[in-house]
Amino acid sequence: MLRITDQIAIEDWELTEQFIRASGPGGQNVNKVASAVELRFEAERSPNLPDPVKARLKRLAGRRWTKEGALVLQCDETRSQTRNRDIVRDRLADLILQATVKPKRRIPTRPTLGAKKRRLKAKKVRGEVKALRGRVDGED
């Protein structure tokens, strides 16, 4: 079980780990050992995640979100399979923790009277500058 917050904990059946061969450090050993970890979290089917958290998680995940509603994370940073496994689980926990934060609602504001006057004055000055760019009639 992976505990995210007091209310959210991910059950083991929701996570699927697959070990694959990694690129990167390892020398000749890299061709023999499957040290990279691919973690698949069935987020859409998870009973432990509230719907708003799932929606924010989907937006945060981006391309890592599959059509089936699963979140797929990979890690091949180290040569150690267990260390990669810990890293990818930490990443999943961080991502879900980010998704639990409710975004602050934007309160629309109106420009002040002074700001409106400054904007209109700047537009007027700019228009006068552009008006001076007309064709010059020269006397021959």
Task: Answer yes or no: is pLDDT of 140 > 80.
Answer: no
- Out of 6-20, 27-41, 74-88, 107-121, the most confident range is 107-121
Q: Which CATH architecture has domain 2-100?
A: 2-Layer Sandwich (3.30)
Furthest-apart CA atoms within the chain: distance in Å: 92
pLDDT digits (tens, 9 = 90+) for 94-127: 998 888 888 899 999 999 999 999 999 999 999 9
Please report the pLDDT score of residue 135 as a whole number: 75
- Helix, strand or coil, per DSSP, at residue 28: helix
Please work out, in degrees rounded to the nearest 5, the angle formed at the alpha carbon of residue 96 by the alpha carbons of 101 and 73.
Answer: 145
Please report, for the chain, the start and end positions of each structural domain, with discontinuous segments joined by +: 2-100
Mean pLDDT on 46-72: 87
Please report the pLDDT score of residue 136 as a whole number: 75
- Helix, strand or coil, per DSSP, at residue 10: strand
